[in-house]
Amino acid sequence: MGTLGFELKSLEVFVATAKTGNMTAASQHLDISQSSVSQILANLESSLGVKLLDRSVRPVELTVAGRYFYDQSVHLLEQAYKTQQVITKGSFNSLHLVRIAMVDSLAATVGQPLIEVIKAHTENWTMMTGYSHLHQQGLLSRSIDIIISDDVLERQDDLRRLQILKEPFVLVVPKQFQQKYPDTCHSLVALSQHLDMIRYSEQSLISQSIETYLHHQGLSVPDRMQLDNTFAVLSAVAQGLGWALTTPLCLLQGEVFRNQISVIPLPEKDSFFRYLTLIARRNELGDLPEKLADGSCKILRQHFLAKIRQHYPWLDGKIRIGKYT
């Protein structure tokens, strides 16, 4: 990235000249010499490669390019003055901008109340979902400030990690199939002989976790269907197209299909879990990560766990919210 070609001081001089209409008044306002004003403006125009002021008229007027640069200069100076005031006062209770990324299942089920928590502690914010590996790259490249991910980035130092959720994977099958062949549904080997497996996209971390689990079980399941999101996966199961592995939080993304699917626990000895962790760069955001983690856990208890207890009570004791190790 190249240099800007101007400094804040030159913006101050340019804005003062544009407001007053002459260099003498601008020099008096800024308490510098008129020759300094003239030299700063000349250097500014030279570095930008464009004429900003029409000096042939009195008072001095802005060119078309000068008008655009004036508006941007005013904005930049306002932000600079504001930043100076905040730094001088030493008050950082509310961050100006926080960029957050999280797994789809969390955003889809408790996104609205979680956004309210974020709003309470930041002046501005952005939130995105998508593949976990892209969120990780964003955190490490500083384009994202906080992620809630199913990967703890254990090889990366200088990160703050706060545990949010531990939940078991479950088996999802078409309800009519489960009613007709209940015993078959308790063996993935037997199930795979009757129905295709519906997978998440191989780019997703949840898919990679499931494939690792299948490998450890010694299962080789034909790869025929890969879908991008949980809603699509559960829709396919509801239509009788196959079976899937997912988690309780993901199940809430497809509540519309609840009466068309059966949710079955994996054999106890074969059970495995998904872990969600809030991760941020250490020391940069004050206590905001802790506040968001606490808020996330509170929301999960109020919204997520209540629905799980209502519809899948046998899962209640298998889910851990907050610190799970």
Contacts for 227 with CB less than 8 Å, ≥ 6 apart: 198, 199, 200, 201, 233, 236
pLDDT tens readout for residues 101-149: 999 888 887 778 888 888 887 878 899 988 888 898 899 888 999 999 9
In the chain, % of residues over pLDDT 90: 62
pLDDT tens readout for residues 268-322: 676 799 999 999 998 888 888 998 899 899 989 988 999 999 999 999 889 999 9
Q: Whole-model pTM? A: 0.73
Query: Which pLDDT score is estimated for 325?
Result: 67
pLDDT tens readout for residues 158-212: 899 999 999 999 999 999 999 999 999 988 999 999 999 999 999 899 999 999 9
Determine the Cα angle at 92 with ends 87 and 95, to 5°. Answer: 110
Residues β-bridged to residue 200: 227
Q: Which residues of 93-108 are buried (b: 16+ CB within 10 A; e: fewer)?
A: eebeebbbbbbbbbbb
Residues β-bridged to residue 274: 167
**Sign of the C-alpha dihedral computed for residues 158, 79, 291 and 293 taken in this order:** negative
pLDDT tens readout for residues 42-68: 999 999 999 999 988 888 899 999 999
Contacts for 218 with CB less than 8 Å, ≥ 6 apart: none
Q: Give the pair of three-digit tokens for residue 170.
A: 């479950």
Predicted confidence band of residue 93 (pLDDT cuts 50, 70, 90): low
Mean pLDDT of the residues in the chain: 89
Q: How many residues does the chain have?
A: 325
Query: How far apart are the C-alpha atoms of 226 and 267, rounded to whole Å?
Result: 24
159-168 and 320-321: which strand pairing?
antiparallel
CA 50 to chain centre: 40
Q: How large is the C-alpha radius of gyration of the chain?
A: 29
CB 14 within 8 A of CB 43: no
Q: Which residues of 237-247 are buried (b: 16+ CB within 10 A; e: fewer)?
A: bbeebbbbbbb
CB 176 within 8 A of CB 261: no
Query: Which pLDDT score is estimated for 50?
Result: 93
Query: Which pLDDT score is estimated for 89?
Result: 66
CB 224 within 8 A of CB 202: no
